[in-house]
Amino acid sequence: MKKLLTTLIVLLMLSSALTACDNAPVSSSLMADASPATSAMALYYYDGKTVTQSYIFHTPTAQTLLDELDTVKAVKAGDWTPDDITLPVYGLNIGKTDGFGIFVAWSNGYWITQTGDAYKFDIDFAELFEKYPGTDTREFDSFTVFPNAYYLTQDKNGWRNTLLTPAAELSPPENVTMTLESWNPDKVTVSFANTGSAEWMYGEYFSLEAQLGGVWYEIPATPNNWGFNDIGYILSAGQSRSMEYPLTMYGALPAGMYRLVAFGLTVEYTMS
How much is the pLDDT for 47? 98
pTM: 0.87
Dump strand ranges (E) for 108-168: 110-112, 118-121, 135-140, 154-155, 158-159
Say whether 13 sits in a helix, a strand or coil: helix
How much is the pLDDT for 99? 87
How much is the pLDDT for 18? 36
Contact between residue 265 and residue 172 where contact means Cβ atoms under 8 Å apart: yes
* Per-residue buried b or exposed e for 57-67, using 16+ beta carbons within 10 Å of the residue's own CB: eeeebbbebbe
CATH number of 176-271: 4.10.1110, 2.60.120, 1.10.10, 2.60.40?
A: 2.60.40
How much is the pLDDT for 36? 97
Q: What's the CA gap between 254 and 146, in Å, rounded? A: 20
Residues in the chain with pLDDT values less than 50: 1-26
How much is the pLDDT for 10? 36
Q: What's the CA gap between 99 and 88, in Å, rounded? A: 29
How much is the pLDDT for 27? 55
For residue range 112-139, list pLDDT tens digits in order: 999 999 999 999 999 999 999 999 999 9
How much is the pLDDT for 16? 40
Q: Hey, what's the torsion of the CAs at 53, 104, 208, 49, to 10 degrees?
A: -40
How much is the pLDDT for 247? 96
How much is the pLDDT for 171? 95
Q: How is the chain split into domains, by residue range? A: 41-155, 176-271
Query: Which residue from 55, 140, 152, 79 is spatially nearest to 113, judged by alpha carbons?
Result: 152
How much is the pLDDT for 78? 87
